[in-house]
Chains A and B, each alone.
Chain A
Amino acid sequence: MKRQTNILEYLDNIVKIYPERIAYANESTELSFQTVYDNARAIGSFLHDEGKYKEPVVVFMKKHPDMIVAFLGVVYAGCYYVPIDEEMPKHRIELIFQNLNPGSVICDDTTIESVKNLKFDGAAYRYNDIIKHPVNEAALNEIRDKSIDTDPIYIVFTSGSTGKPKGVVACHRSVIDYIETLTEVLEISENTVFGNQTPLYVDACLKEIYPTLKYGAKTYLIPKELFMFPIKLVEFLNQYKINTICWVVPALTLISGLGVLDKVVPQYLHTIAFGSEVFPIKQFNIWRKALPNARFINLYGPTEATGMSCYYVVDREFALDEAIPIGRPFRNTEILLLGEDNKPVKQGEQGEICIRGTSLTLGYYNDFERTAEVFVQNPLNTMYPEFIYRTGDIGKINERGELMFVSRKDYQIKHMGHRIELGEIEMVVNQMEGIQSAACIFDDDKKKIILYYVGEASKADVVNFCKEKLPRYMIPNFVEKLDVMPLTMNGKINRLALKERYLNRG
């Protein structure tokens, strides 16, 4: 058996088997595997004929099946895609462009004006124009021949503590490793119909994009507005016979928490994978009661290890004060739990979750310094170079031998399915005129971001400023102005004092 070294082999293979089947769709568009293949190869040929090779190509489009085709087209060109969404704030996009200085951007009619207003030296291409480009078979073959499995295929940007987003670079090999084991765990087949919830600019959407190509499955992109109106959301799942979802926990609790499952049940759903946050057991039990025969799978993993690294298939009842384990590592991945002394912790003790294996990404783009902080030599191996990724998450092994997530090590939090560094919010607020000092804390119980600040600016101005600069999920949920900022003896902001103040706010 020939070993796979390029993610495009999934598409090259499946288009011969199911050319007419629908691969990616939304409520108004359906793209067959043949269309995906033809358009992606046209884009690849176009980029090649423009002289683009082994460089980042930004894909800045509204969420649409075409956006996935653009991703694949970039890979056909031997380049790597950088997804940007129309809903990202301008300031964040500017920081990403500063880091990349992209030579080309693929856009659509809804984003072309925004692209024109961005500062960069490259060219902007319209999706609908470049899919008409004739396929350059010889060039595509040559690009493939020269490609190796450690070449990058995408960069996705995550929140960074200094305010600068970090671009995680993933290669063919890590994505293939991930997709092969993920699809085993989720039991994906050609009958799978995915309902995608996550944005296309995060690694989470790998779970739908590539398994669809591997098996000839189908992915519906669910309109974002439906996640406000849960009955309509479930009706959408039923209308399109969606049977498999990989959602962030808040999207699931939206449905269960509002009593929707008493009224309407997603009748085709048999596989529910969830992650990003701890699933409150009360909510989880509502789901299990409504879908007693479905498989529920908890997934855990950082962007830096391509996608998900650990899984747990729910096999027992949970009491309200219990947590669902993150279980065990995927095949071909190892988890190390390291203590403060960099040695493995004893059974039951807490340690930092560190990841070892092919699923590790290549590191952060154009940022060797921050890469070296977390992609480090395995401290258990003093004999030859070997990287592990330090997640900054604390875990432990329970009495059943299952891995449990305990908490974050630093100020990085998980909120509404997104990873956020509170420091990034503070940095943005601190940039504002009329602000002297700003500090964020997180209310873990109510899942709220709390911002305290000192300065002349009004609360409304601060929130408006945040809206310009930060994604929606990073906007503070509670804002209060202070006369003075409490400080510790070392002159650092006293976050414990702020937390007390918040809890005693009356």
Chain B
Amino acid sequence: MEELLKILEELHPEIDFRTHEHLIDDKILDSFDIITLIAEINDEFDVAIPAHEIIPENFNSAKALYSLIERLKDED
């Protein structure tokens, strides 16, 4: 989780990602961020997020994103 928070904070240092739960709905993350996140998650966690998982529900909070990463790791 800490690694993920670090990636997120580098994108948006002004946001508290521990508590924020509407990153998409509140337009905090945009398409630039999503692409960056997918690339950096791939580097850091060695997890490729498949296209069908790139949906708003998985990106609305750090928690949701982290559980996606965990889930994808387990599937390997």
A→B interface (CB under 8 Å) = 227-232, 250, 254, 257-260, 262-263, 416, 458-460, 463-464, 467, 472-473, 477-479
Contact = CB atoms under 8 A, between A and B. Distances in A.
Given A463-B12, A473-B32, 15 more contacts: A227-B31, A229-B34, A230-B51, A231-B54, A231-B55, A250-B35, A254-B35, A257-B35, A260-B51, A262-B51, A263-B51, A416-B32, A460-B14, A463-B13, A467-B14
A458 B31 CA distance: 26
B24 interface: yes
Contact of A463 (B14, B31, B54, B59): B14
Contacts of A478: 10
A228 B52 CA distance: 12
Contacts of A464: 14
The 3 closest A-B pairs by CB, nearest first: A460-B13, A260-B51, A228-B31
Interface of B: 10-14, 24, 29-32, 34-36, 38, 48-52, 54-56, 59
Contacts of A232: 55
Nearest to A475: B32
Contacts of A479: 13
A361 to B, nearest CB: 29
Contacts of B38: 258
A472 B51 contact: no
A238 B67 CA distance: 31
B56 A229 contact: yes
B27 to A, nearest CB: 9
Contacts of B11: 477
Nearest to B15: A460
Nearest to B59: A228
A228 B30 contact: yes
A263 B51 CA distance: 8
A86 to B, nearest CB: 12
B30 A231 contact: no
B43 to A, nearest CB: 11
B54 to A, nearest CB: 6
Contacts of B50: 258-259
A172 to B, nearest CB: 35
B15 to A, nearest CB: 9
15 contacts: A228-B31, A228-B54, A229-B56, A258-B51, A259-B50, A259-B51, A260-B51, A262-B51, A416-B32, A459-B13, A460-B14, A463-B12, A467-B14, A473-B32, A478-B10
B38 to A, nearest CB: 7
Most chain A CB within 10 A, of B12, B35, B52, is at: B35
Contacts of B14: 460, 463-464, 467
Contacts of B10: 478
B54 A229 contact: yes
A467 B13 CA distance: 12
A263 B32 contact: no
Contacts of A254: 31, 35
A259 B49 CA distance: 9
A472 B13 contact: no
A254 B35 CA distance: 7
Contacts of B31: 227-228, 254
A203 to B, nearest CB: 21
